[in-house]
Structure 1
Amino acid sequence: MPTPALAPRDPLSRAARGWLDHLRVERGSSEHTLKAYQRDLNRYLGFLRAREVASPVEVSEGMVSDFLAHLRTGDEDCPPLAASSAARALVVVRGFHRFLAAEGESADDPAQVVAPPTPARRLPKAISIEEVERLLEAASVGNTPASLRDRALLEVLYGSGARVSEAIGLDIDDIDLGPRGGAGGAQGPGEQGDTAPGAVVRLFGKGSKERIVPLGRYAADALDAWLVRGRPAFATKGRGTPAVFLNQRGGRLSRQSAWSVIQRAAEAADLSGHLSPHTLRHSFATHLLDGGADVRVVQELLGHASVTTTQIYTLVTVRHLREVYAQSHPRAR
């Protein structure tokens, strides 16, 4: 499929077409990617033409910086862009000028040193321990195979800090519930389960990086109950998949279905706000740090390549401490 036309046929448009053709032919970029790049590039070329720039060789570093500022302020035709969207458009502009410089179409790269805007730092969304317990209880109403699966899935997400892709990707061989003292079964908050210590789960994270994460008693008991009393009812309808979490047709549970599980549980627990499987991962990390866990340990449990990624959770903990201090200390206000 040819790259959509860029008109008119002036030096700017010819340069843009050359870069897009390079991406399509040499880099194998998809048409979806090319169309997205072309939208940002068209806006950039329109900005340059409005300033009577006729050729890429006339573009200066200041013009690229002005374009970035223009994206952030907007105009009557286009609303202001968020920092992340403006940064994405700048990536396109930088790629365009880098290509032209490499091809000898321009003497230098005017976009090389223009830095993208820094996105606002969003703190992870976490819910309280009490809200987690309400969510888990809501997921286990009844004793059907579906309710046993839903409780086990949410217990694993919260009990291991797994990403949703890691949880639904689990196979039977990836879990070790340790020595069992009995039939097991999901326990309510405060109840003593019969799972012996030592339950672990093997998770495959980004880049198929493997890590072993311990499972707490409640997660191990919920998994045991699902595997013994729930999963066989779904497995008989499928083709023998080794997946831990199955849908009602016996196939591996999908990401979308996992989202539906937590949405149903959140609604039943009357929890407001947007909850996702990642909310339980955030809550896992936040509650560990609140409980005194070392950030390096949490890093390993979450499978983060860098401790810098994990340290954002310490900001959540500090914010919580400030809120408690402000509400509790007689001289805080």
Structure 2
Amino acid sequence: MTAIPGVARLHVVEGISMLRPHAAVFDKTLKGFEDHQRARHLSSGTIKGRTRIARQVQAFSDGYPWEPAWNHAMFDRWSAMLADQVATSTLRGYQSDLSLYLTYLSDPAYEWPQVCMETFGMFAGFALRDLNAVRHAQEYIGQPSGNRPLSRPEIKKLFGQMDPEIKRLRAAGHKGALAAARDLAMLTTMYAWGLRRRETARLETHDWRRQAKLPEFGDYAGLAVRWGKAAGPGMPPKRRMVISVWPWAVQTVRLYMEHIRPLFYADRPDDGVMFPTERDEMISERAVNQRFQHWRELAELPDCLGPHCLRHTYVTRLIEAGYDGQFVTEQVGHSHAATTAIYTALSSDFKNLKVREFLDAAEEAQLAAAFARADAEADMDDDFSDQTADELVGTGQTRRT
């Protein structure tokens, strides 16, 4: 029975010499890894990102995966270099991408170890479980100072200074007035519907929906989010329907759609983009960051705050308003309520209110118990008095008034 050759045998054909064999075999391992990832139906962006990490490590080590240069010390140096440049979650993602490539490369079923031994006389694979990688010990590993809800005074400062600035730009005939008015609607949408940057940037006008039980919101009673965060690497975006909850936000979006957005299409056909730019294109995620930064600086808010904080603020405000936890989880598209809890940072006023409600309830319960005891004692006194009177009558004695 003829054995079926592994993937490596399909890329490195025995008896055919290669120009610069080390670089050639490395490229072929990456080609096989790409096919391996594509077979799992992962997106091209995810696959390119993972192969890019492998190429970066090869350049950093100045060696190849089958050589002694790829060892634990090199992995630690590479990770330490990145630790000062990227966030913890990003570093963990890079380490995971590299581990996936090494897992594929070390799998005997693909025959890369055998081919490397035959071609170069070495294969210095090491145990992936022993890599000194970032531990995923908890759900949240972001930056505590940045990814937090904005306080009510901060929200007031952020949005409160936008309308006067728009009026100032308009009065001065500044071309930035139109973009500023768009920014007001865009940041309002992020805050009032709890959206991420990509979800906001890729919105289109047809994503707004009517809801039969919310006629007062008209065409803006619901928002179909089509570009939600995927459930896993390479998977398609998750979709969800976000129900409108704040009338003031609906009014802001309605005014933008009726009076501001049409100005972007005065000289061109309407392409349905919710937040277009003056260059006739959809606003980018990077531009969302830049526009938030612009308004954050004008409001003199901390530099650590980013647009994602508006999503955190949305979750917190819904919880404070008394909305059911499961409703909030579905609104923001989380798979688990525990993830939603990470976004929540209840204000001191809300906490004080809850404590006050608890103390008032406890006091009322104590008063009710005291009144119940008093009533019971009064009933006992009445029974005792009646019984005593009967006894006195029976012995011929009378009670004085």
| Secondary structure of the structure 2 residue equivalent to 1:243 | coil
Tell me the amino acid that sits aligned with residue 88 of structure 1. Answer: Y
Does residue 223 (structure 1) correspond to residue 233 (structure 2)? The answer is: no
Q: Give the match for residue 30 of structure 2.
A: 20
The partner residue of 1:98 within 94, 104, 119 is 104
Please state how far the C-alpha of 1:131 moved relative to its aligned partner: 0.8
The partner residue of 2:195 within 150, 154, 162 is 162
Please state how far the C-alpha of 1:230 moved relative to its aligned partner: 1.7
Please state how far the C-alpha of 1:112 moved relative to its aligned partner: 4.4
| Secondary structure of the structure 2 residue equivalent to 1:230 | helix
Does residue 172 (structure 1) correspond to residue 205 (structure 2)? The answer is: yes
Q: Give the match for residue 368 of structure 2.
A: none
> In the aligned structure 1, how far is the partner of 2:282 from the partner of 2:200?
11
Residues 240 and 305 of structure 1: CA distance in aligned 2, closer, same or farther (over 3 Å): same
Q: Structure 2: which 5+ residue stretches go unaligned?
A: 1-17, 39-43, 115-122, 171-176, 230-236, 356-401
Q: Give the match for residue 125 of structure 1.
A: 148
Please state how far the C-alpha of 1:22 moved relative to its aligned partner: 2.9
Instruction: Say if 1:198 and 1:214, in contact at 8 Å, map to a contact too.
Output: yes
Please state how far the C-alpha of 1:300 moved relative to its aligned partner: 0.8
Residues 43 and 148 of structure 1: CA distance in aligned 2, closer, same or farther (over 3 Å): closer
Residues 235 and 313 of structure 1: CA distance in aligned 2, closer, same or farther (over 3 Å): same
Q: Give the match for residue 331 of structure 2.
A: 301
1:31-71 Cα shifts (integer Å, max 9, x gaps): 8764531332455686999xxx7599xxxxxx65x665565
Deviates more, 1:239-248 or 1:97-106: 97-106
> In the aligned structure 1, how far is the partner of 2:330 from the partner of 2:337?
9
> In the aligned structure 2, how far is the partner of 1:54 from the partner of 1:176?
59
Q: What are the equivalent positions in structure 2 for 1:1-333 lying under 5 Å apart?
A: 16=26, 19-23=29-33, 34=51, 36-41=53-58, 64=72, 84-85=90-91, 88-89=94-95, 91-93=97-99, 95-102=101-108, 103-104=110-111, 105=113, 110-114=126-130, 116-118=133-135, 121-122=141-142, 123=144, 124-141=147-164, 142=167, 145-176=178-209, 199-204=221-226, 205-206=228-229, 207-249=237-279, 251-314=281-344, 316-317=345-346
Residues 223 and 41 of structure 1: CA distance in aligned 2, closer, same or farther (over 3 Å): same
Please state how far the C-alpha of 1:220 moved relative to its aligned partner: 0.8
TM-score, normalised relative to structure 1? 0.66
Residues 241 and 92 of structure 1: CA distance in aligned 2, closer, same or farther (over 3 Å): same
Tell me the amino acid that sits aligned with residue 98 of structure 1. Answer: Y
> In the aligned structure 2, how far is the partner of 1:42 from the partner of 1:130?
49
> In the aligned structure 1, how far is the partner of 2:36 from the partner of 2:220?
52
Residues 159 and 245 of structure 1: CA distance in aligned 2, closer, same or farther (over 3 Å): same
Instruction: Say if 1:203 and 1:211, in contact at 8 Å, map to a contact too.
Output: yes
Paired residue total: 286
| Secondary structure of the structure 2 residue equivalent to 1:203 | strand
| Secondary structure of the structure 1 residue equivalent to 2:267 | coil
| Secondary structure of the structure 1 residue equivalent to 2:32 | helix
| Secondary structure of the structure 2 residue equivalent to 1:246 | coil
Q: Structure 1: which 5+ residue stretches go unaligned?
A: 57-62, 180-193, 329-333
> In the aligned structure 2, how far is the partner of 1:94 from the partner of 1:252?
34
> In the aligned structure 2, how far is the partner of 1:209 from the partner of 1:271?
32
Tell me the amino acid that sits aligned with residue 210 of structure 1. Answer: R
Please state how far the C-alpha of 1:221 moved relative to its aligned partner: 1.1
> In the aligned structure 2, how far is the partner of 1:79 from the partner of 1:172?
41
Deviates more, 1:108-117 or 1:256-265: 108-117
1:141-198 Cα shifts (integer Å, max 9, x gaps): 216544432222111111000122222323223225789xxxxxxxxxxxxxx96898
Instruction: Say if 1:156 and 1:219, in contact at 8 Å, map to a contact too.
Output: yes
> In the aligned structure 2, how far is the partner of 1:32 from the partner of 1:300?
30
TM-score, normalised relative to structure 2? 0.56
> In the aligned structure 1, how far is the partner of 2:82 from the partner of 2:282?
43
Please state how far the C-alpha of 1:26 moved relative to its aligned partner: 6.9
State the percentage of identical aligned residues: 19
Please state how far the C-alpha of 1:283 moved relative to its aligned partner: 1.6
Please state how far the C-alpha of 1:288 moved relative to its aligned partner: 2.7
> In the aligned structure 2, how far is the partner of 1:44 from the partner of 1:87?
19
Deviates more, 1:24-33 or 1:259-268: 24-33
> In the aligned structure 2, how far is the partner of 1:196 from the partner of 1:308?
33
Deviates more, 1:79-88 or 1:225-234: 79-88
1:255-295 Cα shifts (integer Å, max 9, x gaps): 34433332222122121213332221122123333444443
